[in-house]
Chain A
Amino acid sequence: MDEEYDVIVLGTGLKECILSGLLSVDGLKVLHMDRNDYYGGESASLNLNQLWKRFRGNDQPPAHLGSSRDYNVDMMPKFMMANGTLVRVLIHTDVTKYLYFKAVDGSYVYNKGKIHKVPATDMEALKSPLMGLFEKRRAGKFFMYVQNYEESDPKTHQGMDLTRVTTRDLISKYGLDDNTVDFIGHAVALHRDDHYLNEPALDTVMRMKLYSESVARFQGGSPYIYPLYGLGELPQAFARLSAVYGGTYMLNKPECKVEFDEEGKVRGVTSEGETAQCKKVVCDPSYLPNKVRKVGKVARAICIMSHPIPNTNDSHSVQIILPQKQLGRKSDMYVFCCSYSHNVAPKGKFIAFVSTEAETDNPQSELKPGIDVLGPVDELFFDTYDRYEPVNEPSLDNCFISTSYDATTHFESTVTDVLNMYTMITGKAVDLSVDLSAASAAEE
């Protein structure tokens, strides 16, 4: 432990593990520590006993829920966009070989008190009960425009420069009503608020394309995929990547105190009386509480159920987005449901999460509209956690702190944070085209 490292990473949450892996692959000497004796930090997956210990103290889980170890309940439930950045990172680091995925059955949106399948293409728009007859045609035309749009081919731009035209102006050209705009913006383009309406439309168009291309990739009912055994597998897989490229792993290290020199630059990390020297520290907010500030609070309900969510066509895995406007809120609400079909629960059991950014002093009641769509539940746990973001200046102290996970049930914001951190740490962008297949010394 008394060695010198280029980077010490603290915490084995997903973001920290991805960074650890990328940095080791770059040839940096990495030491990765966690105060817990398990991988995953806030993004671990818990078995039933661990879940009970965390939320029910000394009580034992009831026998009818089945075997503890058949449960892998994500503490940070999120689906992955099949063609999204995280998948590119997985493929290009070759971490995919440690993981098995399955497509997610459904992607739904809450609209006027009901839930509907999110249409992804012009054809689906024409069939969707989300819209009236004429609106369907207008929306179909808009989807068609988006599908055909190629950034590099001006012929597909129909005379509009999407780096200048706002989303609002683009949409108004197609005459779509507010309801349609709402589901496109929040459930297809996955915006978390309505700022995008006044921003250049290119971003929204590219997000819509990502959605429909992801749906097409696995011909599932949604653009999402999810690993068997839960997301807790992802930090472990990236940690393994880091170890394969020479990273050193130490779990169960108490304290992990970051040490600074006179100029306030990071010098090393002390645990159990030993100090490992380093040039840079990467960590989650809990390791440097003085360099972060609270920016919000996530409220969520974790439910165990014995049936799929009603009105989702019996989806055994599904995301439902409840756009802010539909609920009269400032932030969207997300429902995530997964089941034994992804090996996260015993046969016949479903795990559902309802999460949102807390806006009041009574976050439990805020979750009601989301919980109401689930139908009866066997068990329900309420939870809140504070979200932090870094306030330090990494160029001055060489500390690179991740932002807490948000309430969304997909990864696009998570990966963006990781890639930005990587660029800050190394001064370069992640080269997602590098071929790292050398990590697999397989003969074929």
Chain B
Amino acid sequence: MATIGHSNINAKLVLLGDMGAGKSSLVLRFVKGQFLEFQESTIGAAFFSQTLAVNDATVKFEIWDTAGQERYHSLAPMYYRGAAAAIIVYDMTNAGSFARAKKWVQELQKQGNPNMVMALAGNKVDLEEKRSVSAEEARSYAEENGLFFMETSAKTATNVNDIFYEIAKRLPRAQPPQNPAGMVLVDRPTEAARASTCCS
């Protein structure tokens, strides 16, 4: 949930889409500026944070990658609970992955959070010669469903920062604080009890 504090916004952002569409690669490009041709699912890395400054606010994204649980359709509902933003990724060289991206959009619409900012990313735009989903088709689908659309390449970095930046701009600036926020547990000794009830 996006929360406000001194014009700082914390926003949970989730990536959804077919295995192989390039979700992890987009995160890696955005967070670390890297691209790996044979990106193996990186063990231990499924939670990143990255801060972006937009005109009037500093947005700290907590980015959740799927940890491979999408592979056998076993993603847990907690994954997208409370997400302020989602990037639904398809591989523009693979029409099936576009069809399944639409299912994710439906699922997210069902799950609620009407304020969620949703982006549709047609990834691997560097492979233009293998294109099988046209930009027009994707764009009109996105418009009809209230998403914004960009074609990206994690390989060449095309539109990668842009898509996160655009999300940051669109995040609602004044979201009602969630019904009394819970606490995140941290490892502190009992003596520091007060401090450990740090609130999100």
Contacts and interface: CB of A to CB of B under 8 A. Distances in A.
Contacts of B46: 240, 243-244, 439
B184 A100 contact: yes
Most A Cβ at <10 Å: residue of B43, B181, B196: B43
A98 B81 CA distance: 10
B148 to A, nearest CB: 26
A329 interface: no
Interface string B30-56: 010000000001011111111000000
Interface stretch (B65-73, B83-91, B117-125, B149-157): B65-73
Contacts of A217: 190, 193, 196
Interface residues of A, number: 47
Given A440-B47, A442-B47, A218 B78 contact: no
Contact of A98 (B45, B78, B181, B183): B78
Given A83-B190, A233-B78, A101 B182 contact: yes
B114 interface: no
Nearest to B197: A218
Given A239-B69, A341-B180, A438-B44, A69 B190 contact: no
A156 to B, nearest CB: 17
Contact of A219 (B44, B180, B194): B194
Given A229-B81, A251-B74, A340-B179, A244 B44 contact: yes
A254 to B, nearest CB: 13
Most B Cβ at <10 Å: residue of A39, A244, A250, A438: A244
A443 B180 CA distance: 27
A179 interface: no
A218 B186 CA distance: 12
Interface size of B as a range: 35 or more
Interface stretch (A49-57, A89-97, A353-361): A89-97
B141 interface: no
Contacts of B49: 442-444
A61 interface: no
B128 to A, nearest CB: 32
Contacts of A250: 72, 74
B194 A244 contact: no
B76 interface: yes
A213 B192 CA distance: 12
B79 interface: yes
A317 to B, nearest CB: 12
A441 B44 contact: yes
A237 interface: yes
Interface string B164-200: 0000000000000001111111110010011011001
A252 B73 CA distance: 9
Contact of A102 (B50, B72, B76, B183): B183
B5 interface: no
Contact of B67 (A87, A97, A244): A244
Nearest to A88: B187
Contact of A216 (B31, B50, B112, B190): B190
A39 B50 CA distance: 30
B182 A228 contact: yes
Interface in B112-141: 112
A226 to B, nearest CB: 9
A274 B69 CA distance: 20
A229 B68 CA distance: 24
Contacts of B41: 246
Contacts of A69: 112
Contacts of A312: none
A219 B191 CA distance: 12
B184 A218 contact: no
A265 B166 CA distance: 56
B19 to A, nearest CB: 12
A441 B47 contact: yes
A443 B45 CA distance: 12
Given A244-B46, A439-B44, A251 B78 contact: no
A250 B81 CA distance: 20
Contact of A240 (B44, B67, B72): B67
Interface string A343-358: 1000000000000000
Interface string A17-51: 00000000000000000000001000000000000
8 contacts: A83-B190, A92-B187, A225-B185, A236-B76, A236-B79, A239-B76, A249-B68, A251-B72
Given A239-B69, A343-B179, A441-B48, 13 more contacts: A87-B185, A91-B186, A99-B184, A100-B184, A217-B193, A219-B194, A236-B79, A237-B78, A243-B67, A248-B68, A249-B69, A249-B71, A439-B46
Interface of A: 39, 69, 83, 87, 90-92, 96-102, 213, 216-219, 225, 227-229, 233, 236-237, 239-240, 243-246, 248-252, 340-341, 343, 438-444
Interface of B: 31, 41, 43-50, 67-69, 71-74, 76-79, 81, 112, 179-187, 190, 193-194, 196-197, 200
* Ranked 3 nearest A-B pairs via Cβ: A100-B182, A236-B76, A243-B67
